[in-house]
A and B are shown apart, each in its own frame.
Chain A
Amino acid sequence: MKPLYIETISLYGPGLPSWQEAVHTLLAPETYREDITGPLQSTFLSSGIKRKTTQHMQLAIHAADKALEGTDADLNNIELVFASSEGDLNIAHHICYSLTLEGKPVSPTKFQNVILNAAAGHLGILLKNTASATTVTAAAHSLAVGLLQSYTTSLTESAPILYVAYDAPALLKIDPHATPIDPFSVGFLLSPHPSERSIAAIRLSLQNGTEVTPIENADLSRVSARSSTAGVLPLMIALAKQQRDTVALAYSHDQVLSVEVTPC
């Protein structure tokens, strides 16, 4: 398969407040402390945007901001691929609850934000971005499905892609017995062509099987299992190590997404 180049990375999760800090933690996992969380602060997350959006959307916007920070990407014309495991289930809960009340008083703001592409829509408005924006979902496999969507889009269209995956805890749970979700987001600026700032080349393929790359550190392994997005951690460890490696990410009930990583 053809290579796709990772130009920048952003990361946010419990004990992993930024990609820069996470690199040190992922290389020395014994230093990992889950209780260290960073604020969701970035240039794009002004008070105005925060008023219009929820934590779920803010995680995505934060990841996008940090992945684009300091780059020469054309912010008005960069294609977006977003992935989240179910959209904003707190809003879905609020709407379903409103439907039980007399007069079914659904909030128009909540209605426009319940759509899966709400975060990409808000970011697009913020950036005045007129390029294609696609949001995908695949429950627990959303991270890998979105990465493959980005890979096929960037290489077929020969265009850079901003890929953002994000998940947030919500009152409404699709599976009430599933592990509680942590706020987690990851962003990659991806390019079909190498550049001076390229971090690594990735080649993706689908393989039969369900075994994802294990994480040796028990704490990080536990975090990685808590959401679709956090399932990116085996890939982030490979990227932090800057070594040639191949990791398997959960893709479906009978396939994994194999990501061959070659440092640049």
Chain B
Amino acid sequence: MAILPTYVTAYTLTSALGVGNTATLSAIKNKTGGLREHSMGELGRTWFGFVNPEALYPIEGDLAAYDNECSRMAQTALQQDGFIEAVERAKKTYGKHRVACFLGTITSGICFVEDDYQKSQVALDLTPGSNYTHGGSLDATVQYVRKSLDISGPYATIGTACSSSAKVFATAYRYLQMGLCDAAIVAGVESFSETLINGFRSLGVLSTQPCRPWDGERDGISIGAAAGFALLEKQPAEASHDPAPIELIGYGETADGYDMTAPHPEGKGIEAAMLLALKRAGLDAKDIDYINAHGSGTPMNDDAEDAAVHRIFGALVLVSSTKGWTGHTQGAAGITEAIILMLGMENDLVPASLNTHAVDSSLKCNIALDNQSHRIRYGLTNSMGFGGNNATLIFGRTH
């Protein structure tokens, strides 16, 4: 059942922590979180983790029709950390039709449609009648990425709520192993949207403070935005690596079959996902050096995940949620946290569970309350989404 070699040959993250990996790592090392207080007028106040719009690159030229915040987030991220150069190398090696793209998102360019509704005359039986092919379609962002990078391999947009951009890794693995592509770009992109903010407000789960996962005083989520990309290949980018390249070595995908918004109270679904990932990785629980938890900061989610993690790993392995740094980046959360994990692996750094001051006394996991210098050979990250959708990824440096 062990999975075949799948190397992460490039990756980049743009989030509230900054544009690109260097800015992200610097923010974590300097303990500068990305959450900022926002007023929603008479609807209250909350904390968000959004990317400064002025930092985003506008879309111009032939692809100008795609110019909206979501595509700008994607384009800005793609320009960082040598990612485009890595894709060009892959295209040159394999051919552009052999480079796939799988993107996770919840809303894609819904912000574009929301804006149009604000400007247009609408009613319950009246829509604006605009063309949203390049903006509001859930397919628009992946098409923008494919066109921007000039690749034509297999593709899909995966929408499984907050596990979307974790599941893209598993999908890419399967396409690589089936020989349908030789390289796969996996991505998660989520931008600011009133739909997400007011949807979560309607559910009463927006935090009134910077989110505090696992803390006894936690009261909900802080929404964030991010664009993350990784390039997966069956071969490492270079013949010899020192240190060893990072590999995707395990994944687990499950469902709770329990509730649309609440996790299984004992975390049975995410527990099964972690066990599947460990089995595929050929690892025991004791082999994992760090867990980047889903850790949304809602009482129910953290309770469920804590129970599941503790049943498998006990209280020895270091655990943190990085949503206190970036906010909950929704459809981009899976890859956001996978990249923070990989940055930690490359820099021997376990990031703190920022804003977690005193761990809830009823929870049992070993939460990292401060950044810790710690070698991570094998790291695990969890994602849990609406519809009871769970995904676990394990990355390692094995060769």
Contact = CB atoms under 8 A, between A and B. Distances in A.
A118 B260 contact: yes
B152 A100 contact: no
Contacts of B43: 103-104
Given A92-B113, A117-B389, A122 B118 contact: no
Contacts of A114: 195, 199
Contacts of A113: 260
A124 B159 contact: no
B199 A95 contact: yes
Contacts of A134: 158, 160, 167, 171, 253
A1 B177 CA distance: 12
B106 A116 contact: yes
Interface residues of A, number: 68
B137 A94 contact: no
A133 B202 contact: no
Given A96-B113, A133-B389, A145 B155 contact: yes
Interface string A148-181: 1101110111000000000000011111110000
Contacts of A92: 110, 113, 195
A38 to B, nearest CB: 27
A74 B113 CA distance: 41
Interface string A83-113: 0001100001111111110011111100111
Nearest to B142: A138
A187 to B, nearest CB: 18
A44 B97 CA distance: 42
Nearest to B199: A111
Nearest to A118: B387
> Chain B interface: which size bin?
35 or more
Contacts of B159: 87, 115-117, 135-137
B322 to A, nearest CB: 23
A111 B202 CA distance: 8
B122 A97 contact: yes
Interface string A65-91: 000000000001000100000110000
Nearest to B386: A115
B57 interface: no
Given A121-B389, A138-B156, A177-B131, A130 B255 contact: yes
Given A92-B113, A99-B117, A155 B178 contact: yes
B287 interface: no
B157 A136 contact: yes
Nearest to A140: B139
Contact of A172 (B127, B154, B157, B174): B127
B174 A133 contact: no
A141 B133 CA distance: 13
A105 B258 CA distance: 27
A106 B138 contact: no
A128 interface: yes
B131 A149 contact: no
B302 interface: no
A229 to B, nearest CB: 15
A97 B123 contact: yes
Contact of B160 (A76, A133, A174): A133
A246 interface: no
Contacts of A132: 253-255
A149 B123 contact: no
A121 B130 CA distance: 30
B201 interface: yes
A40 interface: no
Given A76-B257, A137-B139, A175-B131, 8 more contacts: A92-B195, A93-B127, A116-B106, A117-B387, A121-B388, A133-B160, A134-B160, A136-B159
Interface of B: 42-43, 97, 106, 110, 113-114, 117-118, 122-125, 127, 129-133, 136-139, 142, 152, 154-161, 167, 171, 173-175, 177-178, 180, 194-195, 198-203, 253-261, 268-269, 272, 385-389
Interface of A: 1, 76, 80, 86-87, 92-100, 103-108, 111-118, 120-122, 124-125, 127-139, 141, 145, 148-149, 151-153, 155-157, 171-177, 206, 208, 252, 254-255
16 contacts: A96-B117, A99-B118, A106-B199, A106-B201, A112-B203, A117-B389, A124-B387, A128-B258, A132-B254, A136-B156, A139-B138, A145-B156, A148-B154, A156-B177, A176-B130, A208-B97
The 3 closest A-B pairs by CB, nearest first: A121-B387, A116-B159, A111-B199
